[in-house]
Amino acid sequence: MEREAVLVGIDVGTSKVCALIGEVSRDGRLTIMGHGTVPASGLKKGVVINIDQTVRSIADAVERAERLSGWKIDRAFVGVGGQHVESLNSPGQVAVTGHQREVTREDVNRAIEVARAVSIPSNREVLHVERRGFTVDGQEGVKDPLGMSALRLEVETHIVTASATAVQNLSKCVAAAGVKIDELVVNSLASSEAVLNETEKELGVGLADIGAGTIDLALFQDGSPFHTRVLPVGGNNVTNDVAIGLKTSLLVAEELKVRHGTCDLRAVTDDEEISVSVLGEDAGRTVSRLEVCQIIEARMRETFELMHNEIRAAGVGMLPAGILLTGGAAQLAGAAELGREVLQMPVRVVAPSGIGGLVDTLLNPSYSTAVGLLQWGAASLGAGEPTRYESAPARGGLGRLRDALRSVFP
């Protein structure tokens, strides 16, 4: 296997920080060489609230990945989460200027520049300008207009923005851990690289990455995203409800949720008992498993209803390929069944696939973002082709391709 480049992805989440090192072969295959996962501290709902603790978490994860791979990490693709992530769709149109009236790359770039010239508040930073499709002289649905004869070129773009200060704080933490940033990638778009296929994106599909503190949501149609949002709820909300409902510690509540919890109440009988330890009491007590699962089901039902409202607000009637759930909290038993009932569309739980190397633990929904960051990086290595995702000018447009090709071997 000829190695094309070594890439690094760092997923800085509410409950864990994961660093992955992968090598990309000439034919685009991804092999994981090292990974480091540590519990995160210093983050709340995907946003940095303590710089020192976050730096330490990132540095620890990086060090573990380095030890396992024998590779020194100096730069990485880093995931961005948090409720401050928002998106909008913006069109741009230009007259085609060449003397033969053929669409050139320059025309495409000008159209994208017009589209991205929407007024975005100064406290927000543009992370992605995603081309959704082109219209050439009124002909819609053109994926690649290069070389076509035309007088007028229109582009529809999907622009993802984030709070400038939240992005700066995250960037500061990564830099303080000794890592340069290749590109900041919104978590939901990274996860979709790991778990969605082209057919699903063409048909219309939603991806909900349910983490500990947030749900990263991305909706796709005609092959590209049109709605990106982060909802401020996640697995921790379920754990908190169980802890309050049973008057027990968060640690015990988390264990109850993972070991005995389900969102599918039909799977629970009335007479099942579980012993739990209670705050301030030496001797434990027994609770009915049904009571635990009713608390879990109520919170997860509310979570899916929030998701349902967000999908409706995005103006979507139906997503033929349904909603795919991934992320650590998507592994809760019965989540897909409850999701189907509330969302009234197909729902299933998915994990990353199509990677080689040290993958036993990584083919798990909680690693979708980390694996997706590597696949995002691998996709942007196709330097011969135009990049699918133009990055913000602050990241230097095509400069990131040159950066990412930093370790090309003869």
pLDDT, tens digit (0-9, with 9 covering 90-100), for 8-61: 999 999 999 999 999 998 887 889 999 999 999 999 999 999 999 999 999 999
pLDDT, tens digit (0-9, with 9 covering 90-100), for 70-79: 999 999 999 9
Decide if 135 is inside a domain: yes
Task: Categorise residue 248: left if φ over 0, alpha if ψ from -120 to 50, beta otherwise.
Answer: beta
Exposed/middle/buried for 296, CB within 10 Å: 0-12, 13-18, 19+? Answer: buried
The mean-pLDDT minimum among 37-41, 131-135, 280-284, 328-332 falls in 280-284
Give the domain range for residue 93.
Answer: 86-163
In this prediction, residue 2 carries a pLDDT of 59
Strand order of the β-sheet with 30-39 is 180-186, 75-80, 3-12, 16-25, 30-39, 355-357
Angle in degrees, 0-180, between the axes of helices 289-313 and 235-246, rounded to the nearest 10: 150
> Could you tell me if 348 and 341 are in contact, meaning their C-beta atoms sit under 8 angstroms apart?
no
> 149: domain CATH number?
3.30.1490.110
**What does residue 132 show for φ and ψ, rounded to 5 degrees?**
-95, -40
Residue 286 has pLDDT above 70, yes or no: yes
Share of residues in the chain with pLDDT > 90 (%)? 75
In this prediction, residue 29 carries a pLDDT of 85
Return the half-sphere exposure (C-beta side, CA atoms, 13 A cut-off) of residue 83.
9
What is the distance between the alpha carbons of residues 52 and 56, in angstroms, rounded to a whole number? 6
What is the distance between the alpha carbons of residues 263 and 295, in angstroms, rounded to a whole number? 9
Number of domains in the chain: 1
In this prediction, residue 409 carries a pLDDT of 33
Residue 244: pLDDT band with limits 50, 70, 90: very high
Decide if 329 is inside a domain: no
Decide if 115 is inside a domain: yes
Decide if 109 is inside a domain: yes
Task: Categorise residue 397: left if φ over 0, alpha if ψ from -120 to 50, beta otherwise.
Answer: left
Look at residues 224, 233, 222 and name the one whose alpha carbon lies nearest to residue 193: 224
Decide if 375 is inside a domain: no
Decide if 313 is inside a domain: no
Per the prediction, the chain carries an average pLDDT of: 88
- What mean pLDDT do residues 135-144 have? 91
pLDDT, tens digit (0-9, with 9 covering 90-100), for 343-392: 999 999 999 988 888 777 888 999 999 999 999 999 887 633 333 333 33
- What mean pLDDT do residues 254-270 have? 93
Residue 404 has pLDDT above 60, yes or no: no
Residue 275: pLDDT band with limits 50, 70, 90: confident
Our CA angle for 365, 370, 371, nearest 5°, is 75
Decide if 152 is inside a domain: yes
Residue 280: pLDDT band with limits 50, 70, 90: low
Residue 115: pLDDT band with limits 50, 70, 90: very high
SS3 of residue 135 by DSSP: strand
Decide if 230 is inside a domain: no
pTM above 0.95, yes or no: no
